[in-house]
Every structure is written in structure tokens, then in C-alpha cells.
Amino acid sequence: MVPLRYNLRSLLVRKITSAATAIGIALVVFVFAAALMLSAGVDAALATSGRDDIALIMRDGSDAELSSRVGTEVLGMLRERTEVATGGGEAVIGEMVSIVTAKRTDGSGVSNVTLRGTPEAGIAFRPEVKLVSGRLPAPGTSDVIVGKAIAGRFANLGMGQTYELRRNRPVTVVGVFSAAGSSYESEVWGDLDVLRTSLGRDALVSSARVRLASAAQFTSFRASLEADKRLGVKVQRESDYYKSQSQATGGFLSGMGIAIAVMFSIAAMIGAAITMNGAVAHRTREIGTLRALGFSKLAILVSFVFEAIVLSLVGGAIGLVFVMLLSLVSFPVMNFQTFSEIVIGFKATPGVIIAALVFSAFMGLVGGLVPAIRAALVSPVEAMRG
């Protein structure tokens, strides 16, 4: 095999062309990794909202809480189930989910915000929910709290401000909460009875949540509930529900980003091919010398392919360094299931890093293969004469 230091020295000798190719590849990897990070951010925000030991009950045929309606009489029936956890606070809660339209404070227009009416036990039901500032809503009042991801992003939904759900139906923001980075941080929460009365939804909830004694009991719990046609409900693990919520949004964002990256990658691979073709043209005598010293065509081909892959990996590493800065950025996107805005962050995961490096190596392989074949076919006699 041709010594690796020969290829590394060759890249350093051709500083300008090598740098130009590496920068082009870095740009492609930046776009590719950013798309994957954005998709991972959507998955993380929604997946962390759910737990395996929580069963979510909605009306049969509903794909989201927003479109579901469940009678409050179902809550009493659920509390009688033997699978329901005992101790540790209320194990069955009903909630109302709606959307309201609010103006963005940056003047960029309006967007939908998720409004969640929850009972007094609803906050304690989710131990990840923590008060960041202000206070919790007083039961039976028009107090609401706002998730920290949207705090300050919308007019009249800031600390101490008042927002009208309907004419003469105002709510007052009394606190800001966090929820371990989940999609709850993009919602407004208030008292269940007050909010559903304000929106004309008495005696109905959008969904019910049941904390099971064991996650292993979910299958039997679901089977018995869905078999009772009087209820007309469907049952999902809360974690599975939020995973399904992320598929449309995450798939769209990653698909769009990857499509752009693929188009850019064509240009990057052409650039790598031009760079390696130039190297072959200027190193014909060197290649002839290597062949004369006994290196086979395969050794020459592997050597040039290796050189192209190294160049691409350098570019990929540069792109990854810069894309990591996006971890500090949050980004509002539309949840296609609820048509409301959620704020997510770019999330760097080991899978994103590995995928980006593999993608950059693939660009080097494709871009360097043809020049490498050309180098392997150089005649040592003609090369030495040239």
C-alpha cells in the first residue's frame, strides 16, 4: 500500500484547492446536520412530554387532543379501574385542549398557541413541571401560567398581562413554568373549569390521562376499555401519542433539509472530483514512479480514494464544529397535528454526528472514485516519459 503520509503531504501542498473543496463540503454537512438536529429537536420536545406508565384516553377516531371530546362521566369510570395507581396523588385527570390566536411580539404576524385547561391536580400529575417565576394559578380563577419557551413571544401573554379568550373572558398571566424541555413549554395552562366555561365546553374534556400502577398493565387496560363500545374511546401510551405527533413535523423538516443538502452535495462532489482530477494531472510523474517502484493499480486507486475521503472528512468536521453552535438556538415551528406553534431547539445527538461524518465520507468516495480510477490506469512508462 502507498504510505498514508504521501497522501496527507499532497493535501498540504495543494492548500488552496484542498481548502476550497473542504469548505464546500463543510457547507453541505452544515445544512445536512442542521436538518437532522432540527428533527431531533422536534422528537426530543414531543417525546419527553410522554411517559410509558401514563395512558391517554381520547375519543375513538381522534388523532390529537385538539379534535377529541370525552364526557366527564368517563373520568369516574376510569377511577374505578384496578389498573389505576394508588397513592402519590390524583391518578386520573381530564383536560381540555384548545388553540388561541395571538400576535407575535416581534411584529411578524400571528400564530396559534395551545391552551390547556387542567385541574388543580394536573400540575402535580407531571413532576417535571416546575415554576420558573411568579406563582401557580389559584383554583377557580382566570389565572394562567405560560411555558417558558413562549414567554415573551406573544402579545398579552407576558408576565402580569391579560389576554381575552373571548369577549369579556380575560385571563391573567401569573407565572412562567418549565417542563424539562418538552412541548408543554409552548403551552398556556389554566384552570379546567374556568377555561372550558369561557369556551363553552362544559361537561366535556379533550382527553383523560391515567397513571397506571405498572406500565406492563397498559395492554390489558387498553383492551378492556376499547372493547366497551359504550365508551367509544381509544387508548394510547402517552409516550406513543407524542411520538406520533412528532412524525409529521419532524419528517417534513428533516426531509426538506436533506433534500437541500443532497442538491448541495452534488456540487460538493463535483468540486472534490475536480480537485482530485487536478491532483492526478499534476502528479502523473509521481504516479509513474510509484508504479515503477512496484505499487499495484489497486494500491494507487485506494491511495487516491483515501485522499479524497480524508479531504471530505476534514470538511465534514469543520461543518460539524459550526453546526454545534446551533444548539444555542431555539426555533418556532408549526405542529402539523395541532396547527399550533411549538418552540424547539437544534439538538445534537451521537446519531446526528455519525450520520454527518458518514455523509461527508460518502461525498469523498463518490467525488474521488473516478479520478482515482484514472490515476490507477496511468501507464508507468508514459508517465516517466512525460
User: 190, exposed or middle or buried, with CB in 10 Å at 0-12, 13-18, 19+?
Assistant: buried
Supply the pLDDT for residue 381: 60
pLDDT confidence tier of residue 246, bands split at 50, 70 and 90: low
Q: How far apart are the first and last CA of the chain?
A: 24
Output 244 or 33, whichever has higher pLDDT: 33
pLDDT in tens, 350-362: 888 998 899 888 8
Q: Alpha-carbon distance 64 to 52, whole Å?
A: 18
Predicted confidence (pLDDT) at residue 30 exceeds the cutoff of 70: yes
Q: Alpha-carbon distance 363 to 268, whole Å?
A: 7
Query: Read out DSSP for 18-32?
Result: HHHHHHHHHHHHHHH
pLDDT in tens, 61-86: 888 888 899 988 888 889 888 899 98
Q: Alpha-carbon distance 359 to 30, whole Å?
A: 11
pLDDT confidence tier of residue 312, bands split at 50, 70 and 90: confident
Residues 6+ apart with CB under 8 A from 127: none
Amino acid, single-letter form, for residue 63: D
Output 375 or 177, whichever has higher pLDDT: 177
Average pLDDT (305-315) is 85
Residue 237 phi, psi (nearest 5): -65, 140
Predicted confidence (pLDDT) at residue 13 exceeds the cutoff of 80: no
